[in-house]
Structure 1
């Protein structure tokens, strides 16, 4: 007997109002001067980010920021509200069998892609066939590896059959990897669709100047009604002080993240609103377990004891963090708190001695070149020096970094990868434990397939996470994920650091833009304050 779960209507996501009431466009700059002839209007806004974008192909995206921009132009069958609860978008309802192997979905009617292509069952099938095709070599193909077939039942109805039970499938459909692309665009551009995105979203793609800006324009024919912003230009600015200056001067209307050392100061600015919110973003350092000395569990555990996580949070994030107590954050579904690796230099040195590294060793850490990550890697460098570990720091541009980490042929063993230590953050954009654990620690998830940059492999961990996916029973999933979290925590293929608080700031001429708990940006409810 099928379990019928009908989602009634499109849930309206409540906008986060950043200001009580903003002013109209006065023709003046914030300091009272006249606007220059080329300055933007009040409906053409600028959002400044800390890093650059990598691709506009949702199926080939590993970073949250690229996914955020994609969501402005493309939509999935489902999405998330501000609390990371699943809401319908291009689907109206679904039915699932008890085994969680068959999902029948009714699709929204009367929707078109911005190139005029119809949204219907045929378009959905083209997209899901592409996502499920493991020969495509796209970074998110493994997320849909269980999709056995997609069948058209009617013009606006499809059935997706899975090769095995997958209790987290609907959450997976809400992941940004499942954003739908126009079949016409896929046929026309092929792999170059990453530079030519076409979806059903509020905005359409205008231009992308890598390293400089990416601009989208309002989709006047959007099925949910045209947005208030005429255009949005995203500008990556790695230097924290520059991002703050842009916000203060009006060169940017919205920035994220806000440098934590500037949060309190910005709150005194009368034309700016600042917000900090809990997140599901974890910060950690992968240790390449396929290479010595990180193939030794005692070395990995020693490094965890050698880092003062509270001090790390205060120095790098001004206290807007909390120490990790699992590979997934506390408000991710099925989180299970573990015994912490308390700061203990004596224990760290003892473990290194037992592992045969009494005098320490030399290694290299990679990270992006944001101001915050430069500060973070320098902190780690100083801390590890206390136990004799000489750490070389390499901070680099995000695109270069991603290529160095994932730019290998599938099947390349970890011992042949260049990475040794790698500082990164991760947020499971399904809100479920599966996508917080499997991509980072499953044996199937080595780069470039996914993001197990630690090249960690433990059959017992793999068994636990797959048991959790074999059932829709919440208690059974919880038990399996508890086991998986305990195993990976004790094996320590990473140095577990902190859980973020997200931060963003906006000028009071706009409202309704916010950051979700996974660190992604939503402009869906953006408004011009008048």
Structure 2
């Protein structure tokens, strides 16, 4: 039987399993419901958004992996061990024996090639390395493979090496690709980008079998996986953007896991027979963003006014239970150096006064973009009402990830309700790089994974402080540096205003064992089994 014939049988069998009947999902298949609207490619170098990370975490290994429980810890993955040089300027990784899904051996040169490819293509995930001084031009000096089992990473600038090690545990910048397999599919010097958009070349427990945009993703067990074989033969990710549909299918046993349930459905499922809810602190924030490419938002008084047109308490209590908790600082809860919240409150009269000082006594007309998924549309609708009380007449524009975040990446938006801001790397530097840092504000820089660049925000003083804090090894000095950074942020008023810290809540059938939601979105489903 050919591969395509087997695939047709797989899809047909799955369709029967998803039919409206009270029947358990197959014992050896995991069926997951989530929204695919923000999945635009499956190339690890180009991905954006948590949903793609959730899928690819089960397809690609890195040198290391971030611990799902102890967020500050890094665990071995393809690297069995590593050493940091005495001067802190290089890291040597020692690889285990492993194979890619193709059967090709995992070699040090594959690791080096993966990092060089990332920097050469200069797509979204490259910013994780570029922010620490890594460049395509300097890649030969930064990454070396002295033998097949050894990778040496030489830091191009002084930075705490633990930040680099943890960064290489993030799905995307740290993903190791099968260079032989990928280059067999290279077209016109694209380093396999067109092929990898819909294929995979990893070494993790599963391999991509099929991706149908806004329909489903099929992952099959990697027969060449170097670790313990997963209990599940297949993972079926289904595009179910409606929360009520996810809830119904979870209750009817048609889903094993539901990743994007609305608060009302999560609350109802707390008392549902056979269903459990898992909530864990996650990465990033919900925020209101403004584009400083729009001259109106170049005025700090206008940006400050927006601080007082956010109903922090109302949004978190009414819309974000199970999604987020109130948070106004751009540093994740529990991270080193976090100050207490500044305590901004909804105050439309204060906002009107600030707008009048800025030269807008009659307010202004704006567009407010938001994904059409929960909770973004509800947040935008609620924010439209509170903005109006300050004289900001907002037209809500909704759409897919490409339409909403695509406009932000192209710097062609006015205001946006979004989610992001780092935190995948368990250090405040991750938040600062994602939300504030912008080393080059030119259009040509295309630093699309820096939300500072996306919003055209550039502050040389903050850039210097962030770089200095990343390289400082003295604990108390570093703590004071982050206090100084947060105080400067209060004064400068960057165009991204966090109002909630993201938490991840998932509903799942109670016959699952080994399901642990990873705060960095990279939930490993190879550990999941069914207790039946």
TM-score by length of 1: 0.87
Aligned pairs (5 A) from 1:65-144:
65-83=51-69, 84=71, 85-108=73-96, 110-133=97-120, 136-144=121-129
Does the 8 Å contact 2:257/2:508 carry over to 1? yes
Q: Secondary structure at the match of 2:99?
A: coil
The Cα shift of 1:119 comes to 0.9
Distance in 1 between residues matched to 2:400 and 2:274, nearest whole Å? 32
- Determine if the alignment matches structure 1 residue 150 to structure 2 residue 139: no
Cα deviation per residue 1:457-514 (whole Å; 9 max; x = unaligned)? 1111101111122333333333333322322343231232111332111112323223
Equivalent pairs counted in the alignment come to 488
2:189 aligned residue: none
1:449 aligned residue: 448
The Cα shift of 1:527 comes to 0.8
1:46 aligned residue: 31
Specify which of 62, 70, 81 is matched with residue 48 of structure 2.
Answer: 62
1:418 aligned residue: 412
- For structure 2, list consecutive stretches of 5 or more residues without a partner in the other structure: 1-15, 186-191
2:505 aligned residue: 503
Distance in 2 between residues matched to 1:219 and 1:140, nearest whole Å? 25
Runs in 1 of length 4+ with deviation above 6 angstroms? 28-32
Q: Which piece of structure 1 moves more, 86-95 or 322-331?
A: 322-331
Distance in 1 between residues matched to 2:91 and 2:22, nearest whole Å? 58
Does the 8 Å contact 1:280/1:330 carry over to 2? no
Does the 8 Å contact 1:334/1:432 carry over to 2? no
Does the 8 Å contact 2:92/2:153 carry over to 1? yes
- Closer/same/farther in 2, CA of residues 474 and 90 from structure 1, 3 Å limit: farther
1:469 aligned residue: 470
Q: Kindly report the root-mean-square deviation, in angstroms, between the aligned alpha carbons of the 2 structures.
A: 2.3
Distance in 1 between residues matched to 2:312 and 2:22, nearest whole Å? 48
Does the 8 Å contact 1:229/1:527 carry over to 2? yes
The Cα shift of 1:369 comes to 0.8
The Cα shift of 1:443 comes to 2.0
- Closer/same/farther in 2, CA of residues 98 and 251 from structure 1, 3 Å limit: same
Q: Secondary structure at the match of 1:73?
A: coil
- Closer/same/farther in 2, CA of residues 236 and 99 from structure 1, 3 Å limit: farther
Does the 8 Å contact 1:247/1:254 carry over to 2? yes
The Cα shift of 1:391 comes to 0.4
Distance in 1 between residues matched to 2:234 and 2:91, nearest whole Å? 37
Specify which of 136, 146, 152 is matched with residue 159 of structure 1.
Answer: 152
Distance in 2 between residues matched to 1:443 and 1:41, nearest whole Å? 48
Cα deviation per residue 1:63-101 (whole Å; 9 max; x = unaligned)? 122112111011101111222221110112222234432
The Cα shift of 1:187 comes to 0.6
Q: Secondary structure at the match of 1:524?
A: helix
2:314 aligned residue: 311
The Cα shift of 1:343 comes to 2.1
- Determine if the alignment matches structure 1 residue 486 to structure 2 residue 487: yes
Q: Secondary structure at the match of 2:302?
A: helix
Distance in 1 between residues matched to 2:502 and 2:256, nearest whole Å? 23
Distance in 2 between residues matched to 1:439 and 1:184, nearest whole Å? 32
- For structure 1, list consecutive stretches of 5 or more residues without a partner in the other structure: 1-27, 409-416
- Closer/same/farther in 2, CA of residues 139 and 30 from structure 1, 3 Å limit: closer
The Cα shift of 1:225 comes to 1.5
Distance in 2 between residues matched to 1:475 and 1:364, nearest whole Å? 43
- Closer/same/farther in 2, CA of residues 57 and 252 from structure 1, 3 Å limit: same
Q: Secondary structure at the match of 1:456?
A: coil
Q: Which piece of structure 1 moves more, 388-397 or 508-517?
A: 508-517
Cα deviation per residue 1:426-463 (whole Å; 9 max; x = unaligned)? 24211111221112222237655323222111111101
Distance in 2 between residues matched to 1:364 and 1:502, nearest whole Å? 28
Aligned pairs (5 A) from 1:230-249:
230-249=233-252
Does the 8 Å contact 2:288/2:416 carry over to 1? yes
2:514 aligned residue: 512
Distance in 1 between residues matched to 2:256 and 2:244, nearest whole Å? 15
The Cα shift of 1:321 comes to 3.3
The Cα shift of 1:274 comes to 1.3
Cα deviation per residue 1:202-226 (whole Å; 9 max; x = unaligned)? 0011000001011101123321121
- Closer/same/farther in 2, CA of residues 275 and 214 from structure 1, 3 Å limit: same
Does the 8 Å contact 1:330/1:336 carry over to 2? no
Distance in 2 between residues matched to 1:197 and 1:474, nearest whole Å? 41
Q: Secondary structure at the match of 1:462?
A: helix
Distance in 1 between residues matched to 2:36 and 2:418, nearest whole Å? 13
- Determine if the alignment matches structure 1 residue 187 to structure 2 residue 183: yes
- Closer/same/farther in 2, CA of residues 475 and 263 from structure 1, 3 Å limit: same
2:278 aligned residue: 275
1:411 aligned residue: none
